[in-house]
Amino acid sequence: MEPSIAIIGGGVAGLLTAVALQRKGIEATVFEQQPAGLLHNCITLRTTAIDRLHQLGVLRPLLPYITTINYTETYTAQGFLRSRRTVTGKTFVLEQQFLQQVLRQSLQPGQLQTGKQCVHINRISGKPASLYFTDGSYAAAGAVIGADGLNSFVRKNYFTGNASLYAGYVCWKGYAEMPNSFFVPGTNYCFEQNDWYFKVTVLPGNKLHWQAVAAVAEAAASGLDASCHHVLAYFGNWCPEVKAVIAATAGECIKLCDYCYPQEVKNIVQYPLALSGDAAHPMLQQQDCMGVTQAIEDAVCLQYMIARYGITSKAFAGYEKSRVGQCRRSIGLQKIKNAETKVYSSIRTVLERVWRPGMVFHETIEYDCESRSAARATRQPAGGARNTGHLPGHLQQDARPVQWLQ
């Protein structure tokens, strides 16, 4: 039977959309061009996103893999402590592979088709859209949702006015296993210098997920690739912690993120086509908690609109109005936050120049792995012990997880 909705892209956005529609009895098939592999990215979620995952019925299988982040520590590139603070609000992290795995298991057999690279979409008014693939096959659908990432095939070929621009920086992501790590679970670490930074998130099993961002010229960015050599070329003179993490990362565990994408997408619907996830909001994908959160909100919004109005232009118009408006507000809030961060950074730089050595701005990291790990493990924050693991076991059995996460 031909699917009512075809979803191009089997990443988190595409799978979330399929699961959301399935819960309302709406038939959808996901077409993914890559084999059935899993990504090892680390994703950050706020309480709202956790609430939505519970609403979609996929939260409970994810509970063993969720880690709570309670602390953030910021250091200079040379390894001097700048600040240590408690995270306001609840922040959670988990590996993307586990989210993908749970979402795939939630689909019906045959609902996810891999090795299907779409090369053309034929749209005729009043008739189902036809999708053609590189293997010579085709499929028909009442509507097509492009959830195929930053460099979306659907957006590039069927939406106008969304020219890709250089973001102004390059970003590498990677993961490594370090049994004798000097980092502690439950804490985010950020080493920064001007507009450059190196972030480390600790997950159970001695796993470290890191993100390195360097502001370089576009000409220099075009010659980079996903290798330790190029990452060390920019971050090799930073503190030993940063170099140790990069050195412990295998080449196949490093990803160079796309650095050219539209800075704003003004329209995400041209019925019967629609965009979702990073394809719809590429400008938000590098912001903490933004990329996956927006994909979750897209899926829930599509679920509501299509369940209420059917596969119609009215449903898709309502989806576009809701999501574009909300993302513009998110962008505005992010710009305000970035401006505040720059002001704070300027003031902090001046203070660091005049602050007396030995104070908090110049607290040196202990570079000995064993002594640092022991010191960190025994250090207690004011008001109780540090949360270094999963959600409490008794909470995992609660029938209403939203309440115990708030």
Q: Do 251 and 281 have their domain in common?
A: no
CATH number for 329: 3.50.50.60
**Tens digit of pLDDT for each residue in 282-319?**
866 555 557 788 899 999 999 999 999 999 999 999 99
Where in the sequence is the domain holding 215, given as residue range(s)? 167-259+336-378
Percent of the chain residues past pLDDT 70, beyond the cut: 75
Assigned domain for 384 exists? no
Assigned domain for 218 exists? yes
Q: Do 240 and 347 have their domain in common?
A: yes
Q: Do 200 and 273 have their domain in common?
A: no
Q: How confident is the model at residue 3 (pLDDT cuts 50, 70, 90)?
A: low
Which residues, including other chains, have CB under 8 Å from residue 241's CB and lie 6 or more apart?
79, 182, 183, 189, 191, 200, 365, 367
Q: Do 130 and 203 have their domain in common?
A: no
The reply to whether the predicted model has a pTM over 0.75 is: yes
> For all residues of the chain together, what is the average pLDDT?
79
Percent of the chain residues past pLDDT 90, beyond the cut: 38
**Tens digit of pLDDT for each residue in 33-59?**
987 666 677 888 888 899 999 999 999
CB 74 within 8 A of CB 82: yes
Whether residue 371 is predicted with pLDDT greater than 70 in this model: the reply is no
Q: Do 327 and 206 have their domain in common?
A: no
Read off the tokens for 171: 């970003």
Q: Do 316 and 199 have their domain in common?
A: no
d(CA 221, CA 170): 7
As separate numbers, helices (DSSP H) first and strands (DSSP E) second, the chain gives 12, 20
Q: Do 217 and 329 have their domain in common?
A: no
**Tens digit of pLDDT for each residue in 184-223?**
888 899 999 888 999 999 887 788 999 999 988 888 888 8
Q: Give the DSSP H/E element, type plus range, for residue 197.
A: strand 196-203
Provide the β-strand partners of residue 189: 73, 200
Q: How confident is the model at residue 339 (pLDDT cuts 50, 70, 90)?
A: low
Burial of 390 (0-12, 13-18, 19+ CB in 10 A): middle
Assigned domain for 76 exists? no
Assigned domain for 83 exists? no
d(CA 15, CA 112): 8
Read off the tokens for 26: 């709406």
**Tens digit of pLDDT for each residue in 113-142?**
999 999 999 988 778 899 999 999 999 999
Q: Give the DSSP H/E element, type plus range, for residue 316.
A: helix 313-354
Q: Three-state DSSP class for 188? A: strand
Whether residue 18 is predicted with pLDDT greater than 80 in this model: the reply is yes
Q: How confident is the model at residue 340 (pLDDT cuts 50, 70, 90)?
A: low
Q: Do 272 and 132 have their domain in common?
A: yes
Quote the pLDDT of residue 351.
Answer: 63
**Tens digit of pLDDT for each residue in 373-400?**
444 444 333 333 333 333 333 333 333 3
Assigned domain for 387 exists? no
Whether residue 19 is predicted with pLDDT greater than 90 in this model: the reply is yes
**Tens digit of pLDDT for each residue in 228-274?**
889 999 999 999 999 999 999 988 889 888 777 776 777 899 999 99
Whether residue 173 is predicted with pLDDT greater than 80 in this model: the reply is yes
CATH number for 185: 3.30.9
Q: How confident is the model at residue 82 (pLDDT cuts 50, 70, 90)?
A: confident
Read off the tokens for 278: 């990073």
